[in-house]
Amino acid sequence: MGARALEFSRAHPDESAGYTTALKELAELLERSERLAIQQRQGVSEVRAASARKRELRRAIRQRELVHIARAAQRAAKEVPELTQKFALAREPIPYLTFRSLARTVAAEAEQRRELLVKHGLVDRVLDSLAQSMDQFDQAVGRGAEGRRMHVGAGVELDVVADEVVQIVKVIDGLNRFRFAQDPDLFAAWRSASNVVGPPRPTEKTTIPETPSPGGEIKPAA
């Protein structure tokens, strides 16, 4: 509505200072809304990319590093029975942040038990790899949080800008009612371009589901 109203108004100018000012403000708001729309799309894209990366890393960490650590712990449990529960892998999916916390706990526990676990088959570089993988996972979590902040913030600002656009178009509409009072064709064209009294369009909200992977997660004992 705002873009069509601006296009029509530029095609049918008025020399009054108020009209000129209103068109300038409308143009600036439309430029701002375009920038915000781009920011919103970028934020959504970042969240989706981060979610995909978290799924990839969670699956890889569980299937590689955590499985190897858990199997070494099973053998070591002959000497320290509680290791069976501390490094047990659960099959039910859990949220990303819960997975991160538990995987970090397992990494710390394995580091403390490194000598014992190595004696029962743990490869040292697996622990180093787990630390690196968890750092990458943290980066993906941060990337998703920043993307969500971007698109949510842009959405809020877009609502404010949209309200301001409507108000300015209504001001221009008031003048055009006067200008085109004797020209029904131009007034009808303006009404079509501005749609000031048209029904409000529903706001489309972008949802970004984060469906957990069907694979199991790690569940260290308390």
Residues 35-79 pLDDT 10s: 999 999 999 999 999 999 999 999 999 989 999 999 999 999 988
Are 9 and 23 within 8 A, CB to CB? yes
> pLDDT per residue over 122-159, tens digit each?
998 999 999 999 999 999 999 999 999 999 999 999 99
Q: Does pTM surpass 0.75?
A: no
Q: Render 192-220 in DSSP notation, one character per residue.
A: HHH-TTSPPPPPP------PPPSS-EE--
Among residues 106, 113, 109, 112, the alpha carbon closest in space to that of 133 is found at 106
Q: How many domains does the chain have?
A: 1
160 vs 86, more confident: 160
Mean pLDDT to the nearest integer, 8-30: 91
Task: Provide the percentage of residues in the chain whose pLDDT is more than 70.
Answer: 86
Domain coverage including residue 178: 2-218
Q: How does residue 92 score in pLDDT terms, banded at 50, 70 and 90? A: low
